[in-house]
């Protein structure tokens, strides 16, 4: 019997829609790994290397379902990503979601997909499904990292007065449905309609369900984490820009660094290997 570390043969693909959501991680990778590379494919820069000792590929996907889908395919086919995480902002739809909260998807759905009468509303044609479950193990990792970030890192990284300006007092972690569509939801009427049509919906954004469909078709585990930047109401466009600039970048980089640090710690555990 010999002992070996639990080295993971996984490459984590990390996507975001906006520069502020991924720039901190790119800077950290360049600092941690002098051998990190960048390749430009399809007008996107893919940063591949080690982050906290874990193999990762970072990329700015840009906004919308087509952009997210194209980027996810490239991560899987060109870089061999074996897991995918999408991180970014979302509008809060659920009654208990507030600005500064984190929502991690247990499933995703495209709220603007409607191929009736040939297929049911929201159903992806020829796949016989509307909802795509997130990977339970990857989601559990992400939830643990998010919980640690909210409790330990956020108070130290973002000044209290900044959080108070956005009404962030005791940010919570939620787990449930996230819906995606190629439109910015910014009116109470739209929120009401979505709540009635998709009971249990917590947050709305523009990419996650597209990533989920691609991952389903390629057999790759996925997870989606969203920081609530607004309540998807009449002031959403104002709250979104300010929250992104002052707060949200800390969430994306902070939670993912927690996740990767947890993996690095697990890799040091010695386990017996029998031959």
Query: Taking Cα atoms as reference points, which of 256, 233, 104, 245 lies closest to residue 172?
Result: 104
50: three-class secondary structure by DSSP: strand
User: Which two tokens mark 1?
Assistant: 């019997």
A 10 A CB-CB count for 235 gives: 11
Which has the closest alpha carbon to 265: 62, 90, 54, 99?
54
Contacts of 255 (CB under 8 A, 6+ apart): 87, 102, 142, 145, 146, 149, 225
Catalytic residues: 21, 230
CA 271/CA 111 separation, integer angstroms: 45
Instruction: Give the Cα-Cα-Cα angle 160, 163, 227 (nearest 5 degrees).
Output: 140
Burial class (CB in 10 A: 0-12, 13-18, 19+), 137: exposed
* b/e burial code for range 17-29 (CB count within 10 A of at least 16 → b): bbebbbbbbbebb
Q: 208 CB contacts (<8 Å, ≥6 apart)?
A: 68, 86, 105, 108, 178, 180, 224, 226
Three-class secondary structure of residue 233 per DSSP: coil
């Amino acid at each position: 019997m010999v002992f070996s570390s639990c080295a993971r043969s996984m490459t984590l693909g990390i996507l975001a829609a906006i520069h502020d959501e991924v720039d901190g991680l790119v800077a950290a990778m360049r600092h941690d790994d002098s051998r990190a590379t960048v390749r430009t494919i399809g007008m996107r820069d893919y940063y591949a290397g080690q982050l906290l000792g874990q193999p990762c590929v970072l990329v700015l996907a840009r906004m919308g379902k087509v952009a997210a889908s194209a980027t996810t395919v490239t991560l899987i086919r060109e870089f061999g990503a074996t897991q995918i995480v999408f991180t970014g902002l979302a509008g809060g739809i659920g009654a208990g979601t507030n600005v500064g909260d984190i929502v991690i998807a247990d499933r995703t759905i495209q709220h603007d997909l409607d191929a009736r009468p040939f297929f049911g509303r929201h159903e992806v044609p020829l796949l016989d499904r509307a909802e795509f479950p997130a990977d339970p193990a990857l989601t559990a990792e992400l939830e643990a990292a998010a919980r640690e970030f909210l409790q330990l890192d956020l108070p130290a990284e973002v000044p209290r007065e900044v959080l108070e300006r956005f009404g962030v007092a005791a940010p919570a972690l939620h787990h449930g449905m996230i819906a995606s569509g190629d439109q910015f939801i910014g009116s109470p009427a739209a929120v009401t309609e979505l709540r009635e049509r998709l009971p249990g919906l917590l947050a709305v954004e523009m990419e996650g369900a597209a990533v989920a469909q691609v991952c389903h078709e390629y057999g790759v585990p996925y997870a989606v984490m969203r920081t609530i930047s607004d309540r998807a109401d009449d002031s959403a466009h104002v709250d979104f820009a300010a929250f992104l600039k002052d707060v949200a970048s800390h969430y994306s980089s902070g939670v993912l660094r927690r996740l990767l640090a947890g993996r690095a710690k697990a890799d040091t555990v010695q386990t017996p290997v029998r031959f």
